[in-house]
Homo-oligomer: A and B are copies of this chain.
Amino acid sequence: MPISHITLRRGHPDAYLDALSNSLHEALVDTFEVPENDRFQVFHELDLKALCFDRNYLAGPRSDNWVLIEITAGRPRSTTIKRSFYRCLAERLADSPGIAPADVMVVIRHNQAEDWSFGRGLTSMLEMENET
């Protein structure tokens, strides 16, 4: 159910983007109650000059490898879960593809189950509830 938009500078090799994608998804599965097959990500590679970010506000120093990960999720998660997720994500991205923890910024948004259609014109999360 979550959809993630990942924004970063242009110019990383494909292997870097693949590793970022995998580490993000693994962190979501391990700590954010996301099913293994529920993987939806959009990568926005932009010129560095299109990214305007303070190098030190609330964390830092940020480098040109700054990445912004914006996640929309359809059901509430506790503060405890979010804390675990941020920690886990920073660790995994440090490990692969090797992003400095200070360069990982995350913003979460929430909406409701009825706000998702995964396809075929269905109100997917409500149909699921009806099936159980």
A residues whose Cβ falls under 8 Å from a Cβ of B: 3, 7, 14, 17, 21, 35, 37-46, 49-54, 56-60, 62, 68, 70, 72, 79, 82-83, 86-91, 101-111, 114-124, 126, 128
What is the count of identical protomers in the complex? 3
Given A49-B14, A54-B39, A68-B42, answer yes or no on A116-B107 (Cβ-Cβ < 8 Å): yes
Residues of B within 8 A of A42 (CB): 7, 44, 46, 50-52, 68
13 sample A-B contacts, Cβ–Cβ < 8 Å, listed by A number:
A14-B49, A17-B49, A37-B54, A39-B57, A41-B53, A57-B118, A83-B126, A90-B120, A91-B121, A101-B119, A105-B119, A108-B115, A109-B115
- 16 further interface pairs, Cβ-Cβ under 8 Å (given A37-B54, A40-B105, A90-B119): A38-B54, A38-B57, A38-B58, A39-B52, A40-B54, A40-B57, A42-B51, A45-B50, A59-B118, A59-B119, A70-B72, A89-B121, A91-B121, A101-B119, A107-B115, A110-B115
Residues of B within 8 A of A56 (CB): 37
Interface SS majority for chain A: mixed
Residues of B within 8 A of A123 (CB): 79, 82-83, 86
Which residue of chain B is the closest to A61 with respect to CB atoms?
B119
* A32: min CB distance to chain B, Å: 12
